[in-house]
Structures are given as C-alpha cells and as structure tokens.
Amino acid sequence: MNKIGVVGSGSMGSGIAQVAATAGHEVLLYDNNATALTKASDKLQKILNRLVEKGRMTDVEAKAIFGRIYFVDNLSAYEECDMVIEAIIENLDIKKQVFQKLESIVPDHCILASNTSSLSIASIAAACEKANRVIGIHFFNPAPLMKLVEIIPAIQTSPATLALAQSTIDKWGKLTVLAKDTPGFIVNRVARPFYGEALRILEEGIADVATIDWAMTSIGGFRMGPFTLMDYIGNDVNYTVTETVFKAFYFDPRYKPAFTQKRLSEAGYLGRKAGRGYYNYAEGVENPPANEDRDLGERILWRILVMLINEAADAVHWNIASREDIDLAMTKGVNYPKGLLSWADEIGIKKCVKALDKLYKEYHEDRYRCSPLLRKMSKNKASFFPKD
C-alpha cells in the first residue's frame, strides 16, 4: 500500500486523507468541486499548524504530511492507487456510479472501499465487475482523533481484500472491528436507542431536552447527552441515518424515526451548524435549565440504557460482530462510558429482561421486545464475559 486515493474532500474525506498521509502514504484527495478542494486544503493546513502550536508534531513533520497530500479534480489521477476510499454523500445510486467509474481507472490490485455509515456494501460492490475487491471501511468523525474503524466485508469481498484492508488500517494506528454487512453495522445500529428512546421520552412529556441530557451525562457518565450529540452531528444527518436503518430493517418499529427530529430538520433547525437545534446557540441566549431530580434522572437513564443493552445483545444474537468488538466499538466509536455488554453483566441480565418486559407490557409495542439472547441468558444465569 503506497498510494491512497480519497474521494470527497469534506470533513470526513479530509480527515481520512490526513490519517493516511500521517501514516506515510502519498494521498490523492479528489473532489469535483474546485471550491471545496481549496477549502479542504486551507483547513488541513490550519489543522496541522495548530498541532504544531500544541507541540503534537514538529513543523517539519507537519509540512511533510501536507506535502504528501495532492488535491486533484480528476479521477484519472487514481490510475496508480493501491486503495481508494470513497467518502461522499450517503446516496447509494451516486456511490454506485462513482465505483463504476473508479473501476475503469484503478489498477486490478486496487482495493475499493466505502466509508458509508449505513448503506449496503454488497449493493455498492454489485456495481463493479470485480466485486471481490470492494469493502466497507467506516471511519468516525473526526477521523484523525477517533480510534475506531469498522471493517465491513460484503458477501462478494475476498478474504485477501479483507485481510489487506484491515491490516492497512491497523498500521495507521486505528482500532479495527469486524462487522457484518447489515444496516448501521455495529455503532449506528446499536446506538439508535440513545437517540430514539430519548426522543420518545421527550415526546411523551416525561422530561425536557436539558433534563434528559443531564441524566445521561451527570448520572450515566456519557460524554454528551443525546440532544447535545444530535445537535453536534446535525439533525438532518442523524435523521437520515435513522430513516435509512428503519427502511433497511423492513420498517422494524425498534428503529422508527421521530416526528420531532423530522420537523426540526424540515425547519432548518439542524443543530450547531445552523445556530439552532434542540438548543439555541445564538450569542447571549440562555437555554432552559435541567430539572435535576435524581429519581427522574435515574428513570430516564435506565430506560435508555436498557434499550441500548437490548440492541447490543441482539447484535450478538444475529452474529453482527463479536462481543468484544461490540463493546470496543461503543466505547471507542461513540465514547460510551462502558461497553454495553459489560454493563449488562454488571447490572444483571435478569434485571435487564425484567425492565424490557415491563416496557413491553406498558406499551404493547414490538419496539420493546426483549432479545431472545438476553432471555436465554437470564434463564441460564449466564453472562456475556467471564466473571473474575
């Protein structure tokens, strides 16, 4: 692996380019928008200069990294690439078109990877004649800072492609986890209740935005509350991922989107980038304070947490990933305070099952069905990991 191509110069594509160049590769960063390329170049230079100022690297190192990144406006520049990573809009048809074009340019040994967060790798690979060299390599934003990378082989992906892609990303200093090619892979599947159940609690009027965020951070130990995080990600982006996963799972009610988020997206209240989302980010505006009632906060935390645990258990049940990789993905991919399966062991599987059954009895919605694996483990007094 000498020459790496990255398609798309947005924050994700630029971040991946920075990671690859830092690892010593020559990187070709492509965008069909000349203005976007210029912005990406300026932003990368600023980021590297800031790292120098903070003492994270020397000026010589920063200049060497930037010097290994070439900003190109024609995909024909990829004719000698060993791996190309696509990081463009989450639109399957557009991705297929890009992969078809790439295949006509790159050499036969070149790995073609998609950074998609939720789309089918098999569908993308099907657009190529040599589908065995297509794979999913999903970074998390910001790519230079986030350690986790999900590796997703399609059913067409060859063992050689998988081995080389994973070993390459490992050499870049990342923590790789292997995920089955199913909607949302690990993180974007397992994390859905963090947002979805918080929105349900809000829509039911049990608690407001600030109180739910307070419960999850102050009591639960999460780095960000769900509404702060949705505002950070962008309500349009988060809603699209939720809707994509919902449709891809044949409209399973467990992944049902919320009208609240849809309306905010339609109104343009996209979060920090728009100056307004669940919170108002305008200068001088004071957002309503949280209701710091401990009992209420613990009820909020427990309801969201047990739904997260249920989703993680179901991912094990359906062989989406190993138990170790699921816990690693959630702690390193979205900075959860604990691995959800380890957390379930700590709480007690039986207690989790009882909580889920209580929710199901109250709502009679399939959304709250308990994972068969959790029920079986409760019956057998089993745990996800060996007890010390």
Active site residues: 117, 138, 150, 188
The span from the CA of 324 to the CA of 273, in Å, is 35
* Residue 122 burial class via C-beta count within 10 angstroms: exposed 0-12, middle 13-18, buried 19 and up: middle
Could you tell me the two tokens for 93? 């048809």
Where b means 16+ CB within 10 Å and e means fewer, 251-265 reads: eeebbbbbebbeebb
Tell me the CA distances in angstroms from 202 to 140, 159, 211, one per residue in order.
27, 46, 10
Written as one letter, the residue type at 354 is: K
Tokens of 377: 């483990």
Assign 152 to helix, strand or coil.
strand
Answer for the pair 152, 135: CB distance below 8 angstroms, yes or no: yes
165-176 burial: b if 16+ Cβ within 10 Å, else e: bbebbeebebbb
Question: What are the residue ranges of helices labelled H in 116-257?
Answer: 121-125, 159-171, 187-190, 192-203, 209-214, 226-233, 235-248
CA dist., res. 228 & res. 206, Å (int)? 18
Q: What does the alpha-carbon distance between residue 265 and residue 278 come to, in Å, rounded to a whole number?
A: 11
**For the chain, how far is it from start to end, CA to CA, in angstroms?**
42
For residue 17, what is the DSSP state?
A: H
- 134-139 β-sheet, strand order: 69-72, 26-30, 3-7, 83-86, 111-114, 134-139, 148-153, 175-178
